[in-house]
Amino acid sequence: MKTVAVIGCGKFIEGKVGWAIGHAHASGYTNCGIPVRLTGVDLSAENLEAFGNKFNVPTNQLFTSTDALYGAGVPDVVSICTWPGLHAPMAIEAMERGVKGLIIEKPLALDVDQINAIRQKAKETNTVISVAHQRRHEPAFQTFKKIIETKRLGEQVRVEACVGGNWDVLSWTTHWFDMANFLLGETPQYMLAGMDVTDKRIYGHACENASIVFAEYSNGNSGVFLTGPLDEISVRLTGPNGIAMQRGDDILVCTSEGVETIPLETGHEAFRTVCAELLQAIDGGPEPLCSLKNCAVATEMAYAAQESARTQRKVELPVSTGFAPIELMQHPTQSLLRRKRVLVYADAHFGSGGREGLTEAIESLTETQTLVIDAEQQSLTQADTGETDFIVIYHTQKEANSETRNALEKWVNQGKPLIIVHAGLGAWPEWNTYHEWCGLIWEWGKSSHPHSPINLEPETGNPLNFNFGKAWLPRDEVFVQLKSIKPVTIGLHARLDSGESYPAAWRSVETPNVAAWMPGHRRDSWSAPGMRQGLEALILSLLKSTST
């Protein structure tokens, strides 16, 4: 008998937010025809009691934490039915503990980086994962798929779907994305979307108020998806020869030959099949229809749609940016550094794209072309600095030769502004004067850099006179355990979700025309408004102090 744990039993009440999806999973396991021993995890003792009473689970199989669950024994299968913010970390924890199979509720994760982390961990641990897109097993969609395969509607088909009730793309329309993929037998080439975005959040994640999304598939197939303040939930197929739609317990196929009514099987519970397929798969059975391989892309499509709405461009799949675009859209900013001339002395930083992202960010602020000198190819000379308003150093590990040292020392000694960005804090390990300018430096072998989303927060009292409030930044390297060389005045802190806080921006006390900016490893992080706004605030503060 397999042991199954439902994490997030939920509060079983009426309404779309309060309804306990964990109960649906438990019912699926206990009615799938395969004997299981059910356990439950929830923070609420009341929720656990209700879960235990409904499914006859003894109290010694009910837990208030995952630590307690795994401490009592690792289950064979886990269903993760928590709010989306916990899906990825709990899935990875389960795989690391040795769980054989997982069913993860949709949306799969809070950004594409988390989706890829789940994929990678599943590959490393050989864990079987299904995503809760159970509609693949519903009779209506099985019938729709057969209609498409017979070409009754024509060679090209458009899947048209909508959902109202003020739902959002992540929380609900991912089902329709997955249905389109299932029905058409492929994933889209790109997404194109428009969204109404304010400050709305559901289940803790940023979301839109309403949206219209277009997905382009191959061979002329496509999907159109409407989400928001509507009063219906529906899906239909449209082709050059006719349409097919669901009406109650029937599918109607309307073509030039007339209208055919196809009765649907009733009483089918899709969750039972999802659970049965997973239980069979962990014993060597076939890949589940709702496997991670088949269904993870539906959540990725949601982030592609968000990024399309943010950038007003179509976004191809697979998605290349790892962050959640609507989080950025909810934190707007503006530029105040127009027409400033900037020199960036940098290398490729291990191919992370940070140099290119930094350059794009600076040019978006200054609206002028940035002079970029490749530190791996040439020295920095005094002639290079002649027409520059400020210099930015972005990562050079090798030793600076005398020409580069002379150019920078002359620049700094004249009181001109120098900005040291991200890995520039670890540059030139033998150049003590440079380290004194930095104040805080990356100490090779001792400092570290967790990858985490961060909140930028000003230092109490705003000692650097930053024109900056607070901002959220997507996952990036956060430097910790920096070595203190000389006193600095901190302007911004980077606060992690764990509550830990580290310096994010500062100025040298003894050399006040030198400032440092800590974030910026990845190219896509530089597109975040908070990143650009924070860098802008630091530069403006520095320029103001050096001009007086």
- Local confidence pLDDT in tens for the 548 residues of the chain: 999 999 999 986 665 555 589 999 999 999 999 999 999 999 999 999 999 999 999 999 999 999 999 999 999 999 999 999 999 999 999 999 999 999 999 999 999 999 999 999 999 999 999 999 999 999 999 999 999 999 999 999 999 999 998 899 999 999 999 999 999 999 999 999 999 999 999 998 999 999 999 999 998 999 999 998 888 889 999 999 999 999 999 999 999 999 999 999 887 789 999 999 999 999 999 999 999 999 999 999 999 999 999 999 999 999 998 999 998 888 765 456 778 899 999 998 888 899 999 999 999 888 889 999 999 899 999 999 988 999 999 986 678 889 999 999 999 999 999 999 998 999 998 999 999 999 999 998 889 999 889 999 999 998 888 888 889 898 889 999 999 999 999 999 999 988 899 999 999 999 999 999 999 999 989 999 889 989 999 998 888 877 64
Q: What residues form DSSP beta bridges with 291?
A: 130
Q: What is the rounded CA–CA span in Å between residue 297 and residue 303?
A: 10
Upstream peptide bond of 487 is cis (omega within 30 degrees of 0): no
The letter for the amino acid at 497 is D
- Note the pLDDT of residue 16: 53
Cβ atoms of 496 and 450 within 8 Å: the answer is yes
CA dihedral 433, 435, 438, 444 (to 10 degrees): 170
Q: What is the rounded CA–CA span in Å between residue 187 and residue 311?
A: 22
Find the distance separating the first CA and the last CA of the chain, reported in whole Å. Answer: 77
Q: What is the rounded CA–CA span in Å between residue 207 and residue 170?
A: 8
Cβ atoms of 339 and 312 within 8 Å: the answer is no
The neighbour count for residue 472, using CB atoms within 10 Å, is 19
Upstream peptide bond of 417 is cis (omega within 30 degrees of 0): no
Cβ atoms of 355 and 374 within 8 Å: the answer is no
Beta strands in 145-209 (DSSP E): 158-163, 190-196, 201-202, 205-206
DSSP 297-361: HHHHHHHHHHHHHHHTS-EESS----S-HHHHHTS------TT--EEEEE--GGGTBHHHHHHHH
Find the largest Cα–Cα distance for the chain. Answer: 86
The neighbour count for residue 121, using CB atoms within 10 Å, is 18
CA dihedral 302, 304, 307, 311 (to 10 degrees): -140
Cβ atoms of 131 and 179 within 8 Å: the answer is no
Q: What is the rounded CA–CA span in Å between residue 390 and residue 392?
A: 7
Cβ atoms of 471 and 530 within 8 Å: the answer is yes
